[in-house]
Amino acid sequence: MTDTIFALSSGAPPAAIAVVRISGPLAGDALRALAGRSLPPRRAVAATLRDQAGAVLDRVLALWLPGPTTATGEDTAELHCHGGRAVVRAVEQALAALPGLRPAQPGEFTRRAFANGRIDLSEAEGLADLLSAETELQRQSALAMAGGDFSREVAGWRERLLMLSASVEAVLDFGDEDDVSDLPADFTARLAGLEQELASWLARPRAEALREGYRVVLAGPPNAGKSTLFNALVESDAAITAPVAGTTRDVLTHPVALGGVPFRFSDTAGLRDEAGDAIEAIGVERARSALAQADLVLWLGAEGEGPDSAWEIEAQADRKDHPVKTAPRHRVSAVTGEGMDALRTDLIAHARVALPRPGEAALNARQHRLLDEARAALAAADGLSDALLVAESLRLARVAFDALLGRTTTEDMLDALFGRFCIGK
């Protein structure tokens, strides 16, 4: 029998309301034990909770939600208690004292929803991203994935793939030579159309860029104003600034949201051929590594000496002796604020092009890999003349689609995914 689990499913107390969720075959028994009576299904009812000794725990709003049409697919009860720590602790202790109940593990409610077919694996991954979303763009993309946008696409592709497979199976069952020339005239076009749709999804910006933020690295020689500009962009005194060359010794990274877009700004050690000491030399090497991994470099050094595609920034514009550039993308002063609004606006517009559009589902590494496997299998099928080999290629594509939705998966992968969730979700 599946265990019956319980956990606080709302924010950490103290709070106005604390929601304790119970899920499993003994959820109804647990609710009757604490409330002292049976409750009508799917109606919020005021109830007084008591422990096994008859002591009052709290006066709550209780809901009885019989399965399978619940969030977890199981019998579920919710106790909307007062949100004090002592109240929550007393209710949890009373539940733990009941036979057959135990505290839930991180992500266990959602894992049961997946196991019981209430959500598929892609929706679960979207829900995990939704719980960790910190910017509006992250929220909208995760909501699209959690809401099943991508899952519906995969289901549609899988249905079309099954129709293609049926055509091949018909040739294998009834054809004389098992030759693809016996396939319907539009088979190749349908196959190519499906492959093109997968390729279009693969070309989209990835979820990792959205989750980690658009990586902007400030680079240039010592005393170019990198740290001062970095502090202004992240609106914090995160970096130490001083007129001494080599003040910044390491890569300093700070996440921030601008206009609802997630960024990850990095301040780097000043680049010069001869470092002042061994520690600064390590910092310079790390700075060069950060440049190689950046989505965008703001170059504060001599004009034309930065990496390809770097933005030329004429910094320290408030100083009369600052280095002047002939064609800077932006001329700024982090001290007076000159040009800073224009730089931020340009950064937001530039990053929006590279990141998923608002409300657009974005593929994570696992989904991208499986979708690419399906696309490769379809491409292979398009170049084959043996119907048996075509059928095998289509089968491999179908396996990839099934893995995307979690119809074939491993326990280790599920442990890693649901371990991202908090207890009570």
Instruction: Specify the higher pLDDT residue, 164 or 133.
Output: 164
For residues 125 and 56, which has the higher predicted lDDT (pLDDT)? Answer: 56
Report residue 93's pLDDT band, with 50, 70 and 90 as the boundaries. Answer: very high
ω into 68 cis (within 30 of 0): yes
Over residues 368-401, the pLDDT tens digits come to 999 999 999 999 998 888 889 999 999 999 999 9
Among residues 67, 159, 395, 379, the alpha carbon closest in space to that of 151 is found at: 159
Compute the average pLDDT of residues 60-66: 97
Cα–Cα distance for residue pair 372/378, rounded to 1 Å: 10
Residue 222, number of CB atoms within 10 A of its CB: 20
Give the rounded percent of residues in the chain with a pLDDT score beyond 90: 60
Q: Phi/psi class of residue 213: alpha, beta or left (left: φ > 0; alpha: ψ in -120 to 50)?
A: left
Name the band, by pLDDT with cuts 50, 70 and 90, for residue 279: low
Predicted local distance difference test score (pLDDT) of residue 246: 46
Candidates 322, 343, 113; CA nearest to 218 is: 343
Confidence of residue 144 (pLDDT cuts 50, 70, 90): very high
Give the count of beta carbons closer than 10 Å to the beta carbon of residue 376: 16
Tell me phi and psi for residue 204, to 5 degrees. Answer: -70, 155
pLDDT interval class at 170 (50, 70, 90) = confident
CB of 120 closer than 8 Å to CB of 24: no
Residue-wise pLDDT tens digits, 97-119? 999 999 999 999 999 999 999 99
Instruction: Give the pLDDT of residue 321.
Output: 87
Q: Kindly tell me if the per-residue pLDDT of 67 is higher than 70.
A: yes
Scored b (16 or more CB within 10 A) or e, 341-362 reads: eebbeebbebbbeebbeeebbb
DSSP string, 396-420: HHHHHHHHHHTSS--HHHHHHHHTT
pLDDT tens-digit readout, 19-62? 999 999 999 999 999 999 999 999 999 999 999 999 999 999 99
- pTM of the predicted structure, to 2 decimals: 0.72
Q: Which of 285, 292, 286, 225 is nearest to 252 (CA)?
A: 286
- For 68-85, what is the mean pLDDT? 96
Q: What is the CA radius of gyration of the chain?
A: 29
pLDDT number for residue 242: 43
